Amino acid sequence: MGAAIPANSAAAAGRWRSIISLIRFRKTSALEFNKFPKFDDARLQGAVAIGVGDKILYAISSRLESCHQRRIALHHRPERSILEPRSCTNQSDRAGGLASLDAAPPNRFSRSKSNREMNRTKERRPVSDAPLHALHLHQKMHDQALKVPWREVAAACDRLAEWRSFSLWVRAIVDAEHLLPKSVRSSIESRCPAFLQSRKNPAELESLWLDLNGWIDQHFFPAAVQGGWIQALHYYYGRLPLSEVIWQHWTRMRDEWLAKKPGQFPIFEQWQREIAALPTPSEHVAKAAPQYIEWEALAFWVRSLVESTREITPMVSATLEQRCPGFLEEAQKERAQACSDPQWLWERLLRWIEAHEFSEAIENSWIDDLRTAAGKHFRSERLAAYWAECSKNAKKKTPPMPTFEQWLAAADAFVTR
């Protein structure tokens, strides 16, 4: 497994898929993972080019992906312990394990239909421990996403969700029919002109959906490909709750259609309506997460200014009194010089915010889910990254003292070039 893999060839596709299968189906351990090829930029780009980039990223990241820069850099509050590489078990829900991307394809070299069907039944989200360098992978994806405003990444993920749904719709029908029906061919040609003609091996059906994903990346997400953040787009798409809903719908339809072929397959628009009608996980959490992020932004702003000045300025004091009445009095009762420890003040403010603004989440035991959902949001990561940048710059020179609104606008627009 340690031999070099050519970036773009049928052999490359086969080797990448073998690696994915080994990782996803728990046929390897974290230690054995070191025998695999190094996943450097060139090979990841090659994997993306042949349509398996998101599968690679999913397979080797697993649950540690949510230990992002904020959780490490901020010395987060005690109740949010950092997940070390060897202590990730049983943390998937709390850590917000990576939501599913498209499943790994069956072994394309299977010799019989029974073997192909057996391989399909094994396709599932991975449950094995994360490789030791999963944190490094997440940091790499995080850094890629920082190249563009977070709203651009979020919008691209929403568009990618529809395209991934389309490719899984194609895959479900092709797998059930063992051919490409005219109606599906027509839909592909309408949405992706010239795709079918671009395939080197048109008769190869098992890789059709993967080839389609790769073609879609190149033609509908050129900014991400050329800007060097296509891997991050795949990665963050996998964290969307919608990606899990799409995955589960495809899994359910695949199993039903393989057991009994329907009289008529749904058109893609009907497939999408069925997905839209499905409940998303924890709708009350998803509704509260944007508000939680806004409050976290306030805590970041307070910490940033206190770190810079080593005092609670009149502007900070007035803003806190307006938004969090009584907080400063409580904090100063615990520590007379609260500004001497900005981290403690930040943690104390977050606890106050949760107790006063999210008491329902605490009382009904979904506060951890809310923290996780907020922490996985694009905006939350960008706020944390901007705070880290402000903290770094504060050591070099006296920074400006922005209002909270000014700081938040700058954080939303923050990118690295």
Give the C-alpha separation, 58 to 55, whole Å. 5
- Residues 183-203 have a mean pLDDT of 94
Q: What is the 3-state secondary structure (H, E, C) of 216-260?
A: HHHHHCHHHHHHCCHHHHHHHHCCCHHHHHHHHHHHHHHHHHHHC
**CA distance to 118, 266, 275, 279, per residue, from 260 (Å):** 16, 15, 21, 25
In the numeric block, the tokens 């006063």 are attached to 356
**What per-residue confidence (pLDDT) applies to 52?**
42
**What per-residue confidence (pLDDT) applies to 139?**
86
- Residues 326-346 have a mean pLDDT of 87
pLDDT over 80 (residue 106): no
- Residues 358-385 have a mean pLDDT of 93
**Mean pLDDT of the residues in the chain:** 75
pLDDT band for position 281 (50/70/90)? low
pLDDT over 80 (residue 379): yes
**What per-residue confidence (pLDDT) applies to 275?**
95
Tell me which of 121 and 146 has the higher pLDDT: 146
pLDDT band for position 34 (50/70/90)? very low
Of 37-41, 321-325, 359-363, the least confident? 37-41
pLDDT digits (tens, 9 = 90+) for 267-280: 999 999 999 999 87
Asked if residue 241 lies in contact with residue 99, where contact means CB atoms within 8 angstroms, the answer is yes
**What per-residue confidence (pLDDT) applies to 397?**
63
**What per-residue confidence (pLDDT) applies to 403?**
95
pTM for the predicted model, two decimal places: 0.68
**What per-residue confidence (pLDDT) applies to 35?**
43
Cα dihedral sign, 159-163-169-171: negative
